[in-house]
Amino acid sequence: MSMRTLTVRIKRYVPERDRAPRWEEFKVEADPHDRVLDVIQKVKWDQDETIGLRRSCAHGVCGSDAMRINGVNRLACKVLIKSLPSDVLTLEPILGLPVIKDLIVDMKPFFDHYKSVLPYLINDDPPPTTERLQSPEERARFDDTTRCILCACCTAACPPFWGDDKYVGPAAIVNAHRFIFDSRDRGAAERLDILNDTEGVWRCRTVFNCTNACPREIKVTQAIQEVKQALLTGEVDTHSIVNIHQET
């Protein structure tokens, strides 16, 4: 495939220079097999070194380069140039979080919400002499939500979160789900109590932007609905996802 000439529109915000974000345009030659991250790096190296972005592993695992690409939240390292429908590429910081510089947002509010749901194993039972065993079914019950990389694509795609930054957001609920439905964990009641709040799961309006945005293809809305159902029935099925499937 031949090279494509892309018009890259980046929403710039340089705190020393700008009072509000403004658009800047760059022309770049890009290989169709390049990723959006490569294109940004090219612009940064060849045209404007002041462009600010976060990146680390560049392979869709660390979750640091979440940004709004052509209107939707994606990881820049996972979008191929050949997948772009047109030669205009727009890049913006994700919504709902304060912008520090260009494509970099302040992730502190996001991680505060994450911490608020106690995202760690809680089990005060006397430590067993062997490992805490778990059947394959019990492990499968929360497998989907273990894959979260905390990139904030989902939370920053959530319309209720855009309005209300006190809402814990989909990512925090996904990580609560990961422990609530873990058979080794004993903190379900505590976490459900935290999420049973105006700013907890009840703020979710099933918009599905989170599920569409997740680069790990986690069924985010489903996880949130399962937490809601646990609150409504007072029952946490830690054995298998199939059981709940049959009941509903």
Which residues would be at the binding site for another protein (CB under 8 A)? 13, 15, 18, 20-21, 68, 70-72, 95-96, 98-100, 106, 132-135, 138, 157, 159-160, 162-167, 183-184, 188-189, 192-193, 196-200, 202-203, 205-209, 211-212, 219, 221-222, 225-226, 228-232, 234-239, 241, 243-245, 248
CB nearer another protein, residue 13 or residue 110: 13
| Minimum gap (Å) between residue 193 Cβ and another protein | 7
CB nearer another protein, residue 41 or residue 116: 116
Q: What are phi and psi of 197, to 5 degrees?
A: -150, 160
The Cα–Cα gap between 190 and 193 comes to 5
CB nearer another protein, residue 29 or residue 197: 197
CB nearer another protein, residue 1 or residue 16: 16
Q: What are phi and psi of 104, to 5 degrees?
A: -95, 125
**Bridge partner list, 80:** 35
| Minimum gap (Å) between residue 156 Cβ and another protein | 9
Q: Two tokens at 23? A: 């658009």
How many angstroms separate the Cα of 148 from the Cα of each of 63, 114, 122, 171? 9, 11, 19, 8
**Helix pair angle (220-233, 188-195), 10° resolution:** 100
List the one residue out of 118, 102, 101, 114 whose CA is nearest residue 155.
114
Neighbours of 148 (CB within 10 A): 23
CB nearer another protein, residue 59 or residue 166: 166
In sign, the C-alpha dihedral spanning 98, 168, 190, 187 is: negative
Element (H, E) at 102: none
| Minimum gap (Å) between residue 30 Cβ and another protein | 21
| Minimum gap (Å) between residue 184 Cβ and another protein | 7
Q: Two tokens at 59? A: 């392979």
Q: What are phi and psi of 123, to 5 degrees?
A: -160, 105
| Minimum gap (Å) between residue 226 Cβ and another protein | 5
Asked if residue 142 lies in contact with residue 175, where contact means CB atoms within 8 angstroms, the answer is no
CB nearer another protein, residue 55 or residue 239: 239
| Minimum gap (Å) between residue 61 Cβ and another protein | 25
CB nearer another protein, residue 42 or residue 76: 76
| Minimum gap (Å) between residue 248 Cβ and another protein | 4
